[in-house]
Amino acid sequence: MEQVFKVFLLLLLCQSLLVSAQSSYEDFVSLQSLTESWQNKPPSWVGSDPCGSGWEGIRCTNLRVTSIILASMNLVGKLSSDIQLLSELDTLDLSYNKGLTGTIPKEIGNLRKLKTLILVGCSFFGSIPDSIGSLQQLNFLALNSNQFSGNIPPTIGNLSNINWLDLSDNHLEGAIPISGQGVLGLEKLLKAKHFHMGNNRLSGGIPAQLFHSDMSLVHVLFDSNQLSGGMPSTIGVVNSLEAVRFDRNQLSGSVPSNISNLRNLSDLYLSNNRLRGPLPDLTGMNLLTYVDLSNNTFDSSDIPSWASSLPLMTTLKLENTNLGGQIPVSLFNQPSLETVVLKSNQLSGTLDIGNADSNRLKLIDLENNTITDFTQRNMNYKVSVVLARNRICLEAEASTERYCQESQSNSIYSTLPNNCSPPPCSSGQISSPNCKCSHPYSGTLYARALSFSDLGNGSYYKELELSLMTAFQSQNLPVDSVSLSNPFRNASTDYFEVSLKVFPSSSDRFNRTGVSNIAFVISSQLLKAPKFFLPYFFIADDYGYYAGNESKKSSHIGIIVGVVVAVVVFLAVALLAGIYVVRQKKRAKGSAELNPFANWKLNKNNGMAPQLKGARWFSLEELKKYTNNFSEDNTVGSGGYGKVYRAVLPTGELVAIKRAAEESMQGAVEFKTEIELLSRVHHKNLVGLAGFCFENGEQMLVYEYIPNGTLMDSLSGKSGIRMDWMRRLKVALGAARGLAYLHELANPPIIHRDIKSSNILLDEHLNAKVADFGLSKLLVDSERGHITTQVKGTMGYLDPEYYMTQQLTEKSDVYSFGVLMLELVTARRPIEKGKYIVREVQNVMDTTKELFNLHSIIDPLINQVTPRGLDKFVELAMRCVKEYAAERPSMAEVVKEIENIMELAGLNPASESDPTTEEIDVDANGGKLRRPYAHDEGFSYSGAFPSTKVEPQ
Ligand SMILES: *[C@@H]1O[C@H](CO)[C@@H](O)[C@H](O)[C@H]1NC(C)=O
Ligand SMILES: *[C@@H]1O[C@H](CO)[C@@H](O)[C@H](O)[C@H]1NC(C)=O
């Protein structure tokens, strides 16, 4: 009994291991696919288990990837729709990777568990997808400091759990979304504490509905936009507010009087608008620290009494606000006051600053008023008083007085060493406050509503430094110390900026984990900065000193070597350029050495020319003509490789021209090899190559035109072609025959490597034609029967064994073909909403039941109660997707079986006769294999025309 129990336990264990290994493998494939084209991926990403072996930046729960934190990794690339495959993700932070660009894919909306999305300081552009509103769990969304444009999607109103919403520093435009006409708006975000929308191009009014008493807003920042109209009085009911910035807009009307209900407000920035009416009455707002109402057209008035009675006020700015009369001395006797700016008003009389010197006051700027005298003019006061352009300074003898000079900021701060003397450091290294030389991680910290203005008061910075160290230490990060320097207020945004350096403790540099965790602490607001500094954000400098990244280590010798190399390279390039120019000038028509095609046009028997069969050379001129200068109207597709154009040749023949984008071009020799390969492949079920163009830095392939589009478009209903069961069988047979030809009859054999429904084209009779040999790889090592290669392919179709072992065999195509067969039956994408078609079929399939119990997943458009042979077809597909390649049938066997199934179904496969044998292309060298490719193990066609990736819908 005990034994049985043990065995049972063991089985259970195996089962769960298998399941979990499987799921972490699934995320591995997703991650690979997501980051396939990224540069500077962490070198620790090796093996196939992102959860097990210390992959930097990845955290897992129950063997699923739940968190990706790759801030400041110098990543270059795009965020593809494959992100949706990481369906358990709750945290994604890719901040401070300026090389991350492109748009945010709409599929991000499928990450239903996402709580934290941080993409600060990257180069993303385009509009923020509406699907962002599907992220019901989202609590923290920071997209600031990118180049997003378009409107703020109203669907953001669905994010009922959002606390932090930062869209600042982008190019967003249009109105502030509020509910109406079936959409939700920002006012539905009852848990939101932060609306940070500054520095965009938002326009229109501030809707009154935006604010109501059920909200929890703390920071509302709409500075530097193009908002117009009045400030709604509803803002006065959101009494949790601590910072309000509407400065730098075009607001008009008067400031609602109930603004004084905001008893928790600390920072009020309304400057640089067209506000009218009386200067707002801020009496009783006893937590106010920073008030800037400058540059508005308020009614003329004396200095209001509240200006002298706010106990915590550090900064009062009422520049150009139509103030007149005498300045009360009580204004300068407030204990916290640091700065008073009353420039460009009509203040008059005698200035008396009382005992301003005995408190914290640093600056009294009264430039451009009409003040006639200054009580303390002959005293030894410390505060900086500016009376330039007042009556008192107009007389010639007064103009040299200190108070007649314009204000000059001399606030400097820089963290000092902690009782030690900084050692000399080698180049690139900097002494930390603890006097250790190292490579600090650095960047700029910004405060969006700084509550103080005495930028020379070190106690503020000490507090900030302390909070930084506390945050890093509480996360056990290897930080020795931090330093701050060069503080200043940016006059155009009124953001405060200070340089931050974070020094490593355990070695002279950080590793990737160290940096990304430090960055995350700041980007995710784990750092609890002092209140005067809130809200803040950070933009990192690139960190080029990762441990293990020796190439970035610089030394004097390195620099000298570098300079010498640069000079030599420069000279060489200049020389080559010179030679090129001379050659171009006296060229009789092309020179052959560098370009294998240069002479091809002239001399067809030239050894350099590609050995082509049935494919011809086109000039750029010709192709330009046929495509109407590559006009948009003639585009029939596009992808990473470039674009595909439709064109009509003078013979009337329709062709599709694949024009490589610059970044996907390959070398001339590789290109030649590719067209040689393509031109030798002739089969009814393969898209044929009609020619090529290689001229003027262009690489183009000209294919026969296949009119009915891709199988994917037909299955998805996009093309409008009705695919009944018979047609699907016929397509399957055609594609299988094409593939079998590549494997077994092409010489040398070819593995396609990217079989998928978007690479199966349908001709006018709905015959299948296999397209895109962009990833094809010749099977050169027939002894071993496989090729070790960098894994290429498309998510969902990829053979897991190939992925694990990186050994490519024909059986990898068989796997992809099996997936394709399931797609034919179900019309589902291989991975749809995070579900893998193979697993889905496995789950419902029951061979003891009628039609194997597949009713629920058969595509309803097959439109037959019991499609004949469908069960057998699925059975065959499942054999194709067997885990072990050895258990999968060969393509020739697949062809046989599909023929049998068709007979069962009442179709005559012979009428779909396979002309393969007649069309076999005997190799020109009498079957003796030239192996022009054999030398090149790393050779891949993907350079020139990587296949279009098809995003699951
Ligand atoms: C005002 O601030 C205090 C202290 O931070 C806080 O306890 C209180 O809840 C705030 N009031 C509102 C209405 O949010
Ligand atoms: C600097 O600021 C602190 C408040 O953080 C204040 O207590 C202190 O008096 C200020 N020092 C000076 C010299 O103004």
Does residue 425 lie within any of the structural domains? no
Ligand 1 centre to CA of 836 (Å) is 49
CA distance 147 to 390: 44
Q: pLDDT, tens digit, for every residue of 25-61? A: 778 888 888 888 889 999 888 887 888 778 899 999 8
* Cα gap 501→424, rounded to integer Å: 18
Name the more confident of 180 and 555.
Answer: 180
Residue nearest to atom 11 of ligand 2 (CA): 457
Choose between 565 and 733: higher pLDDT.
733
Query: Which atom in ligand 2 lies closest to the alpha carbon of residue 338?
Result: 14
CATH number of the domain enclosing 440 = 3.30.70.960
Are 104 and 163 in the same domain? yes
**Distance (Å, rounded) from C-alpha 797 to C-alpha 836?**
10
Ligand 2: centre distance to CA 470 (Å): 22
Q: Furthest-apart CA pair in the chain: how many Å? A: 113
Give the Cα separation of 337 and 323 in Å (integer).
19
pLDDT score, position 788: 53
- Identify the pLDDT of residue 29: 80
Q: How far is the CA of 412 from the centre of ligand 2 (A)?
A: 15
User: Alpha-carbon distance 898 to 907, whole Å?
Assistant: 11
Residues 68 and 153 in one domain: yes
| CA distances from residue 287 to 165, 338, 635, 706, 757 in whole angstroms, order as listed | 25, 15, 62, 72, 64
Both tokens assigned to 458: 């070190």
143 versus 915: the higher-pLDDT residue is 143
Q: Which sequence positions are flagged as catalytic?
A: 754
How much is the pLDDT for 520? 96
Nearest residue to 760 (alpha-carbon basis) of 912, 911, 948, 580:
948
- Looking at residue 171, what is its pLDDT? 96
What is the arithmetic mean of pLDDT over 430-434?
A: 92
Residue where one domain finishes, among candidates 171, 204, 237: 204
- The per-residue pLDDT for 606 is 37
Examine residue 221 and state whether it is found in any structural domain, yes or no. no
What's 348's domain CATH number?
3.80.10
Residue with CA closest to ligand 1 atom 13: 240
Q: How far is the CA of 481 from the centre of ligand 2 (A)?
A: 23
**What is the reported pLDDT for 385?**
93
Specify whether the CB–CB gap between 771 and 753 falls below 8 A.
no
Highest mean pLDDT among 181-190, 266-275, 642-651, 908-917: 266-275
Q: Report the distance separating Cα 732 and Cα 495, nearest Å.
A: 62
Confidence band (pLDDT; 50, 70, 90) for 661?
confident
At 236 the three-state DSSP class reads: helix
- Is the CB of residue 286 below 6 angstroms from any atom belonging to ligand 1? no
**What residues are paired with 531 via a beta bridge?**
none
Residues with CB under 6 A from ligand 2: 360, 454, 457, 459-460
Q: Is the pLDDT of residue 231 over 70?
A: yes
Atom 6, ligand 2: which residue's CA is nearest?
459
pLDDT digits (tens, 9 = 90+) for 153-193: 999 999 999 999 999 999 999 999 999 877 889 999 999 99
Does the residue 228 lie in any domain? no
Residue 256 has pLDDT above 60, yes or no: yes
Q: Which of 302-311, 425-434, 929-938 has the lowest mean pLDDT?
A: 929-938
Residue 239 CA: which ligand 1 atom is closest?
Answer: 13
Residue 254 DSSP symbol: B
Q: Which amino acid is it at 803?
A: Y
Q: CA dihedral in degrees (788, 792, 797, 802; nearest 10)?
A: 20
Nearest-CA residue for atom 1 of ligand 1: 264
Among 143-147, 391-395, 904-908, top mean pLDDT goes to: 143-147
- The pLDDT of 666-689, averaged and rounded, is 77
For residue 602, pLDDT over 60 is answered with no
Can you tell me the distance from the alpha carbon of 803 to that of 456, in angstroms, rounded to the nearest whole number? 59
Rounded to the nearest angstrom, the distance between the alpha carbon of 460 and the centre of ligand 2 is 8
Q: Give the closest residue to 829 by CA, choosing from 946, 838, 738, 35.
A: 838
Mean pLDDT computed over every residue of the chain: 82
Contact 644, 637 (CB under 8 A): yes
258 CB within 6 A, ligand 1: no
Index of the ligand 1 atom closest to the CA of residue 218: 14
871 and 747 part of one domain: yes
Residue 927 lies in a domain: no
Comparing 34-38, 302-306, 949-953, the range with the smallest average pLDDT is 949-953
DSSP code, position 563: H
Place of tokens 């063997």: 63
Concatenated DSSP letters of 586-620: H-SS---SS-TTTTTTT-TT-TTS---SS-EE--H
Q: Which DSSP helix (H) or strand (E) runs through 625?
A: helix 620-626
Question: How much is the pLDDT for 409?
Answer: 64
Q: Distance from the CA of 459 to the center of ligand 2, in angstroms?
A: 6
556: CB partners within 8 A, 6+ apart = 427
Q: How many domains does the chain have?
A: 6
Closest Cα to atom 5, ligand 1: which residue?
264
Is beta strand 363-365 parallel, antiparallel or unpaired with respect to 267-269? unpaired
Which ligand number lies closest to the CA of residue 411?
Answer: 2
Write out the two tokens for 169: 């520093």
pLDDT attached to residue 224:
96
**Residue of minimum CA distance from atom 1 in ligand 2:** 457
Identify the nearest ligand to the CA of 262 by its number.
Answer: 1
- Mutation probe of ligand 1 site: the residue of 217, 240, 285, 286 with most atoms within 8 A of C-beta: 240
CA–centroid distance, residue 360 to ligand 2 (Å): 7
Residues spanned by the domain of 321: 300-407
Helix or strand holding residue 202 (H, E): strand 201-204
- Specify the residue for token string 């044998």: 917
Rounded to whole angstroms, the Cα distance separating 16 from 645 reads: 50
Contacts of 743 (CB under 8 A, 6+ apart): 749, 750, 751, 779, 810, 813, 890, 891, 892
User: Is 784 found in the same domain as 736?
Assistant: yes
Res 948: pLDDT: 31
**Residue 584 and residue 606 share a domain:** no
pLDDT at 314: 96
Can you give the pLDDT at residue 639?
63
Residue 313's pLDDT band (cuts 50, 70, 90):
very high
Residues 195/172, Cβ–Cβ less than 8 Å: no
CA of 304 to the centre of ligand 1 (A): 27
**Domain edge (last residue) among 152, 183, 204:** 204
Element (H, E) at 658: strand 654-660
Residue 464 Cα to ligand 1 midpoint, Å, equals 23
* Final residue of a structural domain among 665, 684, 704: 704
Task: Say what percent of the chain tops pLDDT 90.
Answer: 49
CB 453 within 8 A of CB 467: no
**225 CA to centre of ligand 1 in angstroms:** 29
Indicate whether 140 and 40 sit together in one domain.
yes
Residue 891: pLDDT band with limits 50, 70, 90: very high
Q: Give yes or no for residue 213 CB within 6 A of ligand 1.
A: no
Q: Is 734 helix (H, G, I), strand (E, B) or coil?
A: helix
Candidate from 339, 357, 359, 457 with most ligand 2 atoms within 8 A of CB, to mutate: 457
603 lines ligand 1 (CB under 6 A): no
Q: Which residue(s) pair with 647 in the sheet? A: 655
Using the predicted structure, report yes or no on whether residue 732 has a pLDDT greater than 60: yes
Determine the pLDDT at residue 912.
62
Ligand 1, residue 263: give the atom nearest the CA: 1
Q: What pairing do the DSSP bridges indicate for beta strands 99-102 and 123-127?
A: parallel
Q: Is 240 in the pocket of ligand 1 (CB under 6 A)?
A: yes
Which residue's C-alpha comes closest to atom 9 of ligand 2? Answer: 360
CATH code for position 182? 3.80.10.10
Helix 725-740 to helix 891-904 angle, to the nearest 10 degrees? Answer: 160
Residues 453-468: what's their mean pLDDT?
94
Peptide bond into 748 cis (omega under 30): yes
pLDDT at 608 over 60: no
Q: What is the CA radius of gyration of the chain?
A: 35
Q: How confident is the model at residue 853 (pLDDT cuts 50, 70, 90)?
A: confident
Q: Which ligand is nearest to the CA of 239?
A: 1
Q: Between 21 and 630, where is the model more confident?
A: 630
pLDDT level of residue 656 (50, 70, 90 thresholds): confident
Q: What is the spatial distance between Cα 849 and Cα 951, in angstroms, rounded to a whole number? A: 34
Q: How confident is the model at residue 78 (pLDDT cuts 50, 70, 90)?
A: very high
In whole angstroms, give the CA distance from residue 427 to residue 732: 64
**pLDDT score, position 670:** 67
Question: 457 C-alpha vs ligand 2 centroid, how far in Å?
Answer: 6
pLDDT of residue 480: 95
Long-range contacts: 145-148, Cβ < 8 Å, 24+?
145/120, 145/121, 145/169, 145/170, 145/537, 145/539, 146/119, 146/120, 146/121, 146/122, 146/170, 147/123, 147/171, 148/124, 148/172
Is the C-beta atom of 261 inside 6 A of ligand 1? no
Range with top average pLDDT, 323-337, 638-652, 756-770: 323-337
How large is the average pLDDT for residues 531-560? Answer: 69
Tens-digit pLDDT profile for residues 473-483: 999 999 999 99
Whether residues 579 and 610 fall in one domain: no
Residue 462's Cβ-count burial label (10 Å; 0-12, 13-18, 19+) is middle
Q: Has residue 908 been placed in a domain?
A: yes
| 613 and 502 together in one domain | no
Tokens in use for 577?
A: 């350029």
Name the token pair of 947: 């296949």
Stretch (H or E) spanning 568: helix 556-586
On whether both 722 and 680 belong to a single domain, the answer is no
pLDDT of residue 30: 84
Residues 358 and 483 in one domain: no
Note the pLDDT of residue 596: 42
| pLDDT-derived band at 787, boundaries 50, 70, 90 | low
Instruction: Tell me the ligand closest to 263's alpha carbon.
Output: 1
* Residues 153 and 34 grouped into a single domain: yes
pLDDT digits (tens, 9 = 90+) for 833-843: 778 889 889 88
Q: Per the structure block, which two tokens stand in for 757?
A: 């429904």
Which tops the pLDDT comparison, 634 or 144? 144
Which atom of ligand 2 is least distant from the CA of 362? Answer: 14
Pocket flag, ligand 1, residue 239 (CB < 6 Å) = yes
Q: In this structure, are 740 and 793 located in the same domain?
A: yes
H-helix or E-strand containing 802? helix 800-805
- Which helix (H) or strand (E) segment is 127 a member of? strand 123-127
Asked whether residue 766 is domain-assigned, the answer is yes
- Give yes or no for residue 405 CB within 6 A of ligand 1: no
| pLDDT given at position 610 | 60
Write phi, then psi, for 298 (nearest 5 degrees).
-65, 160
If you count DSSP H runs as helices and E runs as strands, how many of each does the chain have, helices first?
A: 14, 46
- At residue 410, the pLDDT reads 63
d(CA 399, CA 476): 58
Position 696 scores a pLDDT of 76
Whose Cα sits closest to atom 14 in ligand 1? 240
435-444 pLDDT per residue, tens? 999 999 999 9
CB 216 near ligand 1, within 6 Å: no
- pLDDT of 916 strictly over 60: no
Distance 240 CA to ligand 1 centre (A): 6
Task: Quote the tokens at residue 798.
Answer: 């990829």
Q: Which of 541, 733, 603 is nearest to 71 (CA)?
A: 541
Is the residue at 658 inside a domain? yes
In one-letter notation, the amino acid at residue 429 is Q
* pLDDT for the residue 791: 62
Residue nearest to atom 9 of ligand 1 (CA): 240
Is the CB of 322 within 6 Å of ligand 1? no
Query: Rounded distance, CA 80 to CA 335, Å?
Result: 56
Ligand 1, atom 11, lies closest to the CA of 240
The preferred substitution site among 217, 238, 264, 312 for testing ligand 1, maximizing ligand atoms within 8 Å of CB, is 264
DSSP states of 804-859: HH-EE-HHHHHHHHHHHHHHHHH---SEETTEEHHHHHHHH--TTSGGGG-GGGS-
Model pTM above 0.75? no
In whole angstroms, what is the distance from residue 285 CA to residue 484 CA? 32
Contacts (Cβ under 8 Å, ≥6 apart) of 44: 53, 54, 55, 56, 512
- Write the pLDDT tens digit of every residue in 772-783: 764 454 444 334
**Each residue of 209-218: pLDDT tens digit?**
999 999 999 9
Q: Is residue 800 part of a domain?
A: yes
